[in-house]
């Protein structure tokens, strides 16, 4: 009996010792791992610790993955607020600046064509860092882009409304809805509207309008015509059944805010004059617009618009595509810059030279 009690006591002591040894070993292991994987405090708090000392304030502060992008000039001299691009894309933010003292620290330089075309010497004399991207940025058509030849052999990336640009930055786009949504056509009491600021009497679009107005009433807004405040544009245009989205020139992919904002965002049907119908259909459903090329004359177009305005069911067909697609117009310069940021974050390793920009952009 005493032997049995002795064995029980020994077993208890053994189990207690084993449990204590396990706990001690576990704690020792955890402590060792923490000591081994911990890093010096200054390395984690200062992202430039291996590049520059913390007191070097000339280096623009940024996060580990943040790129610095220099905007060479404000587009058309118009200032705006840079935005946080991570709000638009699931990529890290970029740090934008117009301060040229950061030129040699910038990962990329964005050059707006119209402004740079007036002083190409200063641009050509700038010394580019081999790893630095120079981005040619232009939203104007070739007809309104002077001095293109001076831009040859200067850039390695292009950003424009052209689909074959390195950074495709259109005036608008369609967003696919997660599920079909009913679209209510705004009440319409008027027929045809046109907003035009650059009135050129000898241009194709003005000549076409002059012929069209002989067969159907067209309300014209803009310089030398009816006044229209910018904040009233969508509200006024929504009252019309048709909008003349006539481009100032006809070039590949040149489909501007006249379609995306003035017409589609307002909830009216655009009547387009620009590139061929096939080009528009790369951006829009075929029944989202009316193309003047589909009619033998302005008179035939006027007759069609008049008939369509009087047939509610036929008119509603031009809105059926909106159940699945939502038109979104580019909201400002900052949106375009964020496209460049997103491209550089995801495709930054790409590199090329544009030897003949003047031959490509036609």
Q: How far is Cα 199 from Cα 32, in angstroms, rounded to an integer?
A: 78
Q: How far is Cα 24 from Cα 17, in angstroms, rounded to an integer?
A: 10
Q: Is 140 a catalytic residue?
A: yes
Tokens 């590139």 — which residue?
275
Report the relative pairing of strands 172-176 and 325-329 from DSSP bridges: antiparallel
SS3 state of residue 37: helix
Q: How far is CA 100 from CA 75, 104, 280, in A?
A: 15, 8, 39
Ordered alpha helix ranges (H), 213-290? 233-237, 257-259, 277-280
Q: How far is Cα 298 from Cα 301, in angstroms, rounded to an integer?
A: 5
| Residues 177-190 as b or e (16 or more Cβ within 10 Å = b) | eeeeeebebeebeb
Tokens 């405040």 — which residue?
229
Q: Copy the structure tokens of residue 300.
A: 């035939």
Active-site hit among 140, 252, 278, 310: 140
Q: How far is Cα 351 from Cα 279, in angstroms, rounded to an integer?
A: 28
Other CB atoms within 10 A of residue 146 CB? 13
At a CB cut-off of 8 Å and minimum separation 6, what does 137 contact? 75, 110, 111, 112, 113, 159, 160, 169, 336, 340
Q: How far is Cα 218 from Cα 52, in angstroms, rounded to an integer?
A: 64
Q: Copy the structure tokens of residue 284.
A: 């829009």
Cα 102 to chain centroid, rounded: 24
* Rounded (5°) CA angle 129-112-245: 150
* Residue numbers annotated as active site: 140
């Amino acid at each position: 009996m005493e032997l049995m009690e002795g064995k029980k006591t020994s077993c208890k002591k053994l189990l207690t010792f084993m449990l204590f040894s396990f706990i001690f070993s576990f704690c020792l292991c955890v402590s060792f791992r923490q000591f081994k994987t911990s890093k010096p405090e200054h390395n984690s708090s200062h992202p430039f610790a291996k590049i520059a000392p913390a007191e070097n304030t000339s280096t623009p502060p940024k996060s580990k993955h943040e790129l610095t992008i220099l905007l060479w000039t404000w587009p058309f001299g118009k200032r705006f607020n840079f935005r946080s691009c991570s709000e638009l894309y699931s990529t890290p933010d970029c740090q934008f600046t117009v301060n040229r003292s950061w030129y040699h620290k910038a990962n990329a330089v964005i050059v707006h064509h119209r402004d740079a075309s007036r002083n190409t010497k200063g641009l050509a004399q700038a010394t580019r860092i081999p790893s630095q991207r120079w981005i040619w940025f232009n939203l104007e058509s070739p007809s309104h882009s002077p001095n293109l030849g001076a831009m040859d052999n200067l850039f390695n990336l292009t950003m424009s409304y052209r689909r074959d640009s390195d950074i495709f930055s259109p005036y608008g786009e369609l967003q696919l809805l997660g599920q079909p949504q009913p679209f209510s056509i705004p009440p319409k009491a008027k027929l045809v509207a046109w907003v035009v600021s650059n009135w050129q009497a000898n241009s194709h679009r003005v000549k076409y309008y002059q012929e069209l107005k002989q067969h159907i009433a067209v309300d014209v807004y803009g310089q030398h015509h009816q006044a229209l405040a910018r904040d009233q544009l969508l509200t006024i245009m929504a009252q019309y059944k048709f909008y003349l989205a006539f481009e100032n020139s006809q070039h590949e992919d040149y489909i501007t805010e006249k379609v995306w904002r003035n017409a589609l965002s307002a909830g009216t049907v655009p009547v387009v004059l620009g590139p061929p119908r096939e080009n528009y259909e790369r951006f829009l459903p075929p029944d989202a617009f009316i193309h003047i090329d589909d009619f033998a004359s302005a008179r035939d177009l006027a007759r069609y618009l008049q008939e369509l305005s009087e047939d509610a069911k036929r008119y509603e067909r031009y809105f059926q595509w909106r159940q699945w697609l939502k038109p979104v117009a580019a909201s400002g310069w900052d949106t375009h810059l964020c496209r460049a940021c997103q491209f550089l974050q995801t495709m930054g390793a790409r590199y090329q030279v544009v030897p003949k920009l003047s031959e490509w952009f036609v």
